[in-house]
């Protein structure tokens, strides 16, 4: 049997039935809707590209960078870099600033920096947990 507070919590998170005790870790958040799940899927598809992830990581480390410097860092052509940055710009993740002939990119959605930090943390943790003791 569940106590009253557990029943209340389960109603809040819209759990129809539960056979095991539930520990609520995100009590302020409602479950994501089907539409939100689709939007997140689209967002993660944009982010799930090694070139775009490296670009975002480079931009997260500085205030802004011009396309030519990003291209040199990535050992790619400026056109290839611009194509990838355009995808990120279309999602409102990065923005541009023109100065003469130079175009500078910066991350405008600060949540992306936090997401990259969390992703690197997850990567580090998964490497630590996958190592077998000698």
pLDDT at site 20: 81
What is the reported pTM? 0.74
Q: How many CB atoms lie under 10 A from the CB of residue 67?
A: 18
Sheet of 102-107: strand order equals 65-66, 102-107, 94-99
Per-residue pLDDT tens digits for 19-34:
788 787 887 888 999 9
Q: Give the integer Cα–Cα distance in Å for 21 and 23.
A: 7
Nearest-Å Rg of the Cα atoms of the chain is 21
> pLDDT grade, residue 6 (50/70/90)?
very low
The CATH classification number of 49-130 equals 1.10.10.10
Q: How many CB atoms lie under 10 A from the CB of residue 65?
A: 19
Per-residue pLDDT tens digits for 101-132:
999 999 999 999 999 999 999 999 888 888 76
Tokens of 111: 């949540």
Q: What is the 3-state secondary structure (H, E, C) of the chain?
A: CCCHHHHHHHHHCCCCCCCCCCCCCCCCCCCCCHHHHHHHHHHHHHHCCHHHHHHHHHHHCCCCEEHHHHHHHHCCCHHHHHHHHHHHHHCCCEEEEEECCEEEEEECCHHHHHHHHHHHHHHHHHHHHHCCCC
Per domain, the residue ranges of the chain are 49-130
Tokens of 119: 């992703």
């Amino acid at each position: 049997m569940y106590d009253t507070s557990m029943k209340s919590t389960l109603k809040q998170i819209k759990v129809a039935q539960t056979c095991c005790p539930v520990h609520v870790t995100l009590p302020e958040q409602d479950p994501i809707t089907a539409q939100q799940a689709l939007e997140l899927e689209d967002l993660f598809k944009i982010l799930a590209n090694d070139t775009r992830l490296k670009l975002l990581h480079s931009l997260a480390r500085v205030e802004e960078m011009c396309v030519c410097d990003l291209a040199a860092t990535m050992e790619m052509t400026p056109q290839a870099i611009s194509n990838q940055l355009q995808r990120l710009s279309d999602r409102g993740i990065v923005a541009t600033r023109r100065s003469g002939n130079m175009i500078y990119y910066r991350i405008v959605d600060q949540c992306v920096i936090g997401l990259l930090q969390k992703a690197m943390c997850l990567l580090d943790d998964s490497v630590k947990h996958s190592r077998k003791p000698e």
